[in-house]
Every structure is written in C-alpha cells, then in structure tokens.
Amino acid sequence: MSKVKIVNKGVNPLPEYKTPGSSGMDLMAWLEEPLTLESLERALVPTGLYIELQPGYEAQIRPRSGMSIKHGLTLINAVGTIDSDYRGELRIPVVNLSREPFTIHSGDRIAQMIVAPYDRVILQEVDSLEDSDRGEGGFGSTGR
C-alpha cells in the first residue's frame, strides 16, 4: 500500500474516494471569495493541500467529467502531473470553455486526483524502429 502525506491548510476535508469503484479523489477549491471565470478565461485555483508522494509515484490531476459537460470547466493542460519531489500547494489550472460565466466557490469539487506508480525508462538511440501492423498510421488510423 502506498502512502501519501497531506498538509491541509484549507477548511475542506481531505480528498477521498467517493465510491468503492472510484479511481480518483475529488479536489476542492479553497478560496477566500468566489471566483468568476468569463468565457475562455483561465485561473490557477488553490486547494490548500500540499502533498508528499513516495518515490516511484505520481499524482495525475484530471478534469471532473460532470464539471466539463455541465459547465464547460476543464483543465488547461488536460492532465497535470505532480511529481514525487514537488512540495508546493496543489493548484488547479482551470479554463471556462462555455459561453457563459462560471463561478467557483470554496469547497466546489473542481478536479480529481489519481495516484499511480510509474516506471522510468532508459532511452536508446537507434537508426531505425521495428515494423508494426500500424506503422506510421496516426490519428484515426485504427478506426478504419
């Protein structure tokens, strides 16, 4: 079992899995006053959380599907990565993709965090790559 240390400087509860099958834990905004994002406006939203991950683990910060489809609120970088040696506050880079202003309040669930192991690879420079059935087929090439 991996351990994650959290310093909570906000008033929100710690992230938690909402159902037995959940892979992500919701992250909540920690704001002194509501934050209204106009259409296409971006902001870095604080959570009041500071994290220490074990080496070999990362935290992936992902959009919440409900916020994305209902309100157009998503992450600027689609999936963010928190490395095991980062000790700063978890701040969520959000963007309002809707045509309407959207207001974030303290305690709103704005993203989800998935903690996952990773492998570091050794890169090897070569002159050519092995052939595969797909070859150089790119976007949409496997759906034919």
The pLDDT of residue 56: 94
Q: Give the phi and the psi of residue 82 in degrees, each rounded to 5.
A: -105, 115
Lowest pLDDT segment from 5-9, 38-42, 102-106: 5-9
In the three-class reduction of DSSP (H, G, I as helix; E, B as strand; rest coil), residue 137 is classed as coil
pLDDT class of 11 with cuts at 50, 70, 90: confident
| Domain definitions of the chain by residue range | 4-120
Cβ-based neighbour number of residue 124 at 10 Å: 5
Q: What is the pLDDT of residues 58-106, one digit of tens each?
A: 999 999 999 999 999 999 988 999 999 999 999 999 999 999 999 999 9
pLDDT at 139 over 90: no
Cβ-based neighbour number of residue 28 at 10 Å: 24
Question: Residue with structure tokens 């759906």?
Answer: 143
The pLDDT of residue 1: 64
Half-sphere exposure of 107 (CA within 13 A, CB side): 3
Q: Computed from CA positions of residues 30, 66, 44, 60, in that sequence, does the dihedral angle turn out positive or negative? A: positive
Q: Choose among 55, 43, 28, 41: nearest CA to 109.
A: 28
In angstroms, the CA 9 to CA 105 distance is 17
pTM of the model: 0.86
In angstroms, the CA 87 to CA 47 distance is 13
pLDDT at 2 over 90: no
Cβ-based neighbour number of residue 69 at 10 Å: 11
pLDDT class of 16 with cuts at 50, 70, 90: very high
Q: Which CATH architecture has domain 4-120?
A: Distorted Sandwich (2.70)
Q: What is the pLDDT of residues 100-135, one digit of tens each?
A: 999 999 999 999 999 999 999 999 999 999 999 888
